[in-house]
């Protein structure tokens, strides 16, 4: 029976992410495979020691844009049964904490791996979220090219 996870569920979260709990939500007796990607904040970047990160989002757009990403993901594998959940942190994230979790369950592993990879790659390309690295002596918005 279809539920929200087959369409794809997205959450912006202000508290620490728990990958195991998120992964458990997409599990289903019909699914023998679950691929779960966790992205965490690095202690070093651009040769500098990162003190913490701050994530900002265009919150009103994140839901609609993630819906479009889920749609593109389903279109990539129209025959596959996919159960998808994406959770992204917002606000201050300490070094070493998960900032994003992508969990996909499917009857077989190839479809789950492919969808998980597609979702993280596409959200990094188009989801309106920005990461600011705070160093001991400054800060930098990642991706800024002006």
Partner 1 sequence: MDLSLQLFAALRERAGRPELRLSGLAEGLTVEDLKRALERAHPELGSLAHVAVVVGTSYARAGQKIGPGDELALLPPVSGG
Among 3, 44, 47, 60, binds partner 1 (CB under 8 A): 60
Please classify residue 145 by burial: count the beta carbons closer than 10 Å to its beta carbon, then call 0-12 exposed, 13-18 middle and 19+ buried.
Answer: exposed
65 scored as a contact of partner 1 (CB under 8 A): yes
Residue number with CB closer to partner 1 (6 or 65): 65
State the minimum distance, in angstroms, from the CB of residue 78 to partner 1. Answer: 23
Beta bridge partners of 131: 55
144 scored as a contact of partner 1 (CB under 8 A): yes
Q: How remote is the C-alpha of 145 from its chain's centroid?
A: 23
How far is Cα 74 from Cα 142, in angstroms, rounded to an integer? 29
Binding stretches for partner 1 (CB under 8 A): 39, 55-58, 60-61, 63-65, 88, 99-100, 120, 123-132, 141-146
């Amino acid at each position: 029976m279809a539920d929200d996870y087959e369409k794809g569920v997205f959450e912006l979260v202000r508290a620490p992410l728990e990958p195991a709990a998120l992964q458990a939500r997409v599990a289903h007796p019909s699914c023998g495979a679950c691929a779960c990607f966790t992205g965490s904040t690095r202690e070093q970047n651009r040769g500098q020691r990162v003190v913490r990160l701050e994530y900002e989002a265009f919150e009103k757009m994140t839901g609609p844009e993630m819906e479009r990403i889920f749609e593109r993901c389903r279109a990539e594998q129209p025959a596959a049964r996919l159960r998808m959940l994406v959770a992204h942190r917002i606000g201050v994230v300490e070094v070493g904490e998960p900032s994003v979790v992508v969990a996909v369950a499917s009857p077989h592993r190839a479809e789950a791996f492919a969808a998980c990879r597609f979702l993280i790659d596409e959200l990094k390309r188009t989801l309106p979220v920005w990461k600011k690295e705070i160093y001991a002596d400054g800060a930098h918005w990642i991706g800024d090219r002006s």
